[in-house]
């Protein structure tokens, strides 16, 4: 009888041990399954599908911080292009500068008002001068927030009889608005913006000869 009880007790211990191992195995399997599912969802969220020329293309989303300098430079470049690429027509000037003001604070509006008061835009219109800008480089400091920048660019003022080339240097800071809109797709705002230098460096006549 005691032998039977001992055998039953041993069998019960084995069954209990087996049950514990089975529970642990099931718990491990569930945890692995949840982990795999989370990874799958994360990878899926990083995929972007772009419709281009009637074709669906797959792209990968990246973390905002991983390409922050690229986004900042593009925001700064876009702002300067809107502000300085001008046609000799009042509505076109207001439309272009108006787009730039969505990307900057009142410091840009102040610069615009100063140019209006000085008659700068009226001179462009009356002399039929087209103004074009090419951003050469942008120096950024992303170690300190808001992000300070200095922008170096080349301006060309084109008229029928001559072309003037100017050196343009501006500086300011960029703040992250955390919100992206159609008018401000990067969600940044330029602040404390000022024009440090805007001077003629080359002037040519209509035939391209230096004057």
- pLDDT by residue (tens digit) across 4-50? 545 666 766 767 777 777 787 777 888 777 877 767 666 555 555 55
pLDDT of residue 205: 56
pLDDT of residue 73: 96
pLDDT of residue 2: 46
Q: Which of 9, 151, 8 is nearest to 83 (CA)?
A: 151
Other C-beta atoms lying within 10 Å of the C-beta of residue 93? 22
- pLDDT by residue (tens digit) across 99-111? 999 999 999 999 9
Rounded-to-integer distance, Cα 71 and Cα 132, Å: 22
pLDDT category, 52, cuts 50, 70, 90? very low
Least confident of 160-169, 184-193, 200-209: 200-209
DSSP structural state of residue 18: H
pLDDT of residue 24: 79
pTM over 0.85: no
Q: Which of 148, 157, 149, 152 is nearest to 168 (CA)?
A: 152
Rounded-to-integer distance, Cα 98 and Cα 80, Å: 12
- Using the Cα atoms of residue 168, residue 83, residue 195 and residue 146 in order, give the sign of their dihedral: negative
Over residues 105-118, mean pLDDT: 96
Q: Which of 78, 46, 39, 84 is nearest to 62 (CA)?
A: 46
Q: Tell me how long the chain is.
A: 211
Q: Taking a C-beta distance cutoff of 8 angstroms, is the pair 195, 154 a contact?
A: no
Other C-beta atoms lying within 10 Å of the C-beta of residue 155? 21
Mean pLDDT across the chain, nearest whole number? Answer: 83
Neighbouring residues of 55: CB distance < 8 A, sequence distance ≥ 6? none
Q: Which of 177, 175, 159, 156 is nearest to 167 (CA)?
A: 156
Rounded-to-integer distance, Cα 51 and Cα 60, Å: 14
Q: Which fold has domain 64-205?
A: Nuclear Transport Factor 2; Chain: A, (3.10.450)
Least confident of 74-78, 102-106, 185-189, 207-211: 207-211
Q: Check residue 116 and give left, alpha or beta (phi > 0: left; psi -120 to 50: alpha).
A: alpha
Rounded-to-integer distance, Cα 9 and Cα 113, Å: 94
Q: Taking a C-beta distance cutoff of 8 angstroms, is the pair 189, 177 a contact?
A: yes
């Amino acid at each position: 009888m005691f032998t039977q009880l001992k055998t039953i007790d041993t069998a019960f211990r084995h069954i209990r041990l087996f049950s514990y191992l089975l529970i642990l195995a099931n718990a491990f399997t569930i945890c692995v399954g949840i982990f795999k599912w989370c990874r799958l969802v994360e990878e899926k969220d990083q995929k972007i599908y772009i419709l281009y020329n009637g074709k669906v293309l797959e792209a990968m989303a990246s973390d905002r911080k991983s390409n922050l300098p690229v986004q900042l430079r593009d925001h700064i470049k876009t702002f300067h292009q809107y502000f300085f690429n001008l046609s000799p027509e009042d509505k076109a000037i207001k439309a272009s500068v108006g787009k730039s003001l969505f990307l900057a604070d009142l410091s840009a509006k102040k610069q615009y008002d100063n140019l209006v008061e000085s008659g700068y835009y009226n001179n462009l219109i009356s002399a039929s001068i087209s103004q074009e800008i090419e951003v050469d480089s942008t120096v950024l400091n992303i170690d300190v927030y808001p992000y300070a920048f200095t922008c170096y660019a080349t301006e060309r003022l084109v008229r029928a009889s001559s072309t003037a080339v100017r050196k343009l240097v501006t500086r300011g800071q960029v703040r992250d608005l955390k919100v992206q809109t159609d008018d401000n797709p990067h969600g940044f705002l330029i602040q404390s913006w000022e024009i440090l230098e805007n001077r003629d460096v080359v002037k040519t006549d209509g035939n391209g000869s230096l004057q």
